[in-house]
Structure formats: structure tokens, C-alpha cells
């Protein structure tokens, strides 16, 4: 049995309107779509910056009280889909096709979803999985997912690990800062960012992050509080 092939480059594949999930259009409209490059329909998004200092300063200036208020507000925002109701069936079908190994069909469906709902993160997520054998494109699509759904820390953590594996620790710090912005209550994320700053030998931000962590830790973490305070005093 032949192994299913991964999809071709997006520039070689046109969006499909053949699915029963998509409303039929007139011939003139269909003809105009033949010249559309799916990647041109995808939103442009900034890459993860290596200049982590500015975002880190903003994050460190946020008080514990502000963090708690922010957490209360964003609980209902995380993973909120922006796919219109009439396209949810198509997204489900695209994921099903991907699971079955029908990669090219899944890809076409994702491009059609992007054409109709460019601010929905789900098709970009599926494309990041489709391109797992092309790390550059996979990361590009995952970055779009993170920007479209910034209050989901999971994607920032995935990107952070990818940049760590690629030895780009500065970008990884940016990703951890954004993950902390999304969910400041997870102490492990603060500690991991601190570990990366130590590897970068950034004494200024090591000191600032330790001070921030001391004020963020709950009283029950007395051993960690003592260690952070001791390390801060030794700097």
C-alpha cells in the first residue's frame, strides 16, 4: 500500500470550491479564483522578534493585581474560534481528510477556509501539521496561529521549544514572555524564561525577572521564595 504524499508547495495548489460545504458561485467568480495564490490570501504576520527587551519590560511592569484582573477577563477568550458557523463543517472535514492521509485535499480545504475566514486560526494550525516535514513553513503557519490566538499560551510554548532546538534563545525568550502574558499564573514559565536569560548572560533582566518572580510567587512557595531572594541578593 503506497504511503500518502505530503502536499505540494502552496503556490502550486489552488483553493477548492468543490466541497458541498461551500456555497456554489457563478462561473465568473470561479474563473477569477483560478488565478488566486492561497498564500496571498493568508494574513501577513510579524515574525517572533529576537529583541525581547521591549516586551519583557512591559511584562515586568505589570503588577500582580493587574495580572489577576487580566486572567479573570481572558478566561473566556482563549481558543475562541473565529470560524463562521457555516464553515465549521468544512474545517471538520479538512481535519478528517488530514487524519485519513488525504493531505492535498485537506490543504485545499484549509486554503479555502483562509480565503473566507482569514482571521480564524484553525486552518493555519492544520497547515502547520501538514507541513511538519518542511520545518520553515510549519513554523510560519504556527506563528500565525499564535498571533491570531495570542491568549493561548500553548502555541507560544511550542514556538519557544522550536527556537530553543534551533539555538535561537532570544526568540525563545520572546515566546515565553508572550506565554506568560497569556497565563501569568504558571510559575514554571517564569522559571524557564529566567533559565534562558541566564544562558544569554543577561544580568540586567535576570535581576528584574527574579524580582518579579518573588512578587508573583504565592506564600506557600516559601522555599522558592527564599532561593529567589538569596540569588537576587548575591547579584
CATH class entry, domain 47-80+150-235: mainly alpha
Please report the pLDDT score of residue 194 as a whole number. Answer: 93
pLDDT in tens, 157-204: 999 999 999 999 999 999 999 999 988 888 899 999 999 999 999 999
Q: Are the beta carbons of 205 and 53 closer than 8 angstroms?
A: yes
Query: Are residues 196 and 169 in contact, defined by beta-carbon separation less than 8 angstroms?
Result: yes
For residue 115, CA distances in Å to 9, 118, 124 come to 17, 6, 12
| Domain range summary for the chain, segments of one domain joined by + | 1-41+82-148, 47-80+150-235
- Do 172 and 206 meet the contact criterion of CB atoms below 8 Å apart? no
Among 168, 172, 159, 138, smallest CA distance to 56 is for 172
pTM summary value: 0.74
- Scanning 42-102, the segments in alpha helix (DSSP H) are 53-60, 64-74, 88-99
Helix, strand, or coil (residue 116): helix
Q: Percentage of the chain with pLDDT > 70?
A: 69
Amino acid at each position: 500500500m503506497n504511503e500518502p504524499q505530503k502536499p505540494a508547495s502552496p503556490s502550486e495548489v489552488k483553493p477548492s470550491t468543490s466541497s458541498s460545504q461551500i456555497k456554489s458561485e457563478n462561473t465568473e467568480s470561479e474563473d477569477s479564483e483560478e488565478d488566486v495564490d492561497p498564500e496571498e490570501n493568508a494574513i501577513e504576520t510579524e515574525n517572533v522578534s529576537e529583541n525581547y527587551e521591549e516586551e519583557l519590560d512591559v511584562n515586568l511592569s505589570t503588577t500582580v493585581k493587574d495580572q489577576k484582573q487580566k486572567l479573570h477577563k481572558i478566561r473566556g477568550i482563549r481558543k475562541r474560534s473565529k470560524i463562521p458557523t457555516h464553515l465549521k463543517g468544512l474545517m471538520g472535514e479538512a481535519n478528517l481528510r488530514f487524519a485519513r492521509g488525504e493531505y492535498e485535499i485537506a490543504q485545499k480545504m484549509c486554503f479555502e477556509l483562509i480565503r473566507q475566514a482569514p482571521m480564524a486560526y484553525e486552518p493555519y494550525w492544520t497547515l502547520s501539521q501538514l507541513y511538519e516535514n518542511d520545518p520553515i513553513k510549519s513554523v510560519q503557519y504556527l506563528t500565525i496561529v499564535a498571533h491570531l490566538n495570542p491568549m493561548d499560551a500553548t502555541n507560544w510554548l511550542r514556538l519557544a521549544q522550536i527556537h530553543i532546538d534551533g539555538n535561537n534563545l532570544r526568540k525563545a525568550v520572546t515566546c515565553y514572555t508572550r506565554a506568560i502574558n497569556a497565563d501569568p499564573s504558571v510559575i514554571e514559565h517564569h522559571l524557564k524564561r529566567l533559565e534562558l536569560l541566564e544562558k544569554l548572560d543577561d544580568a540586567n533582566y535576570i535581576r528584574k525577572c527574579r524580582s518579579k518572580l518573588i512578587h508573583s510567587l504565592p506564600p506557600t512557595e516559601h522555599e522558592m521564595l527564599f532561593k529567589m531572594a538569596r540569588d537576587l541578593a548575591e547579584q
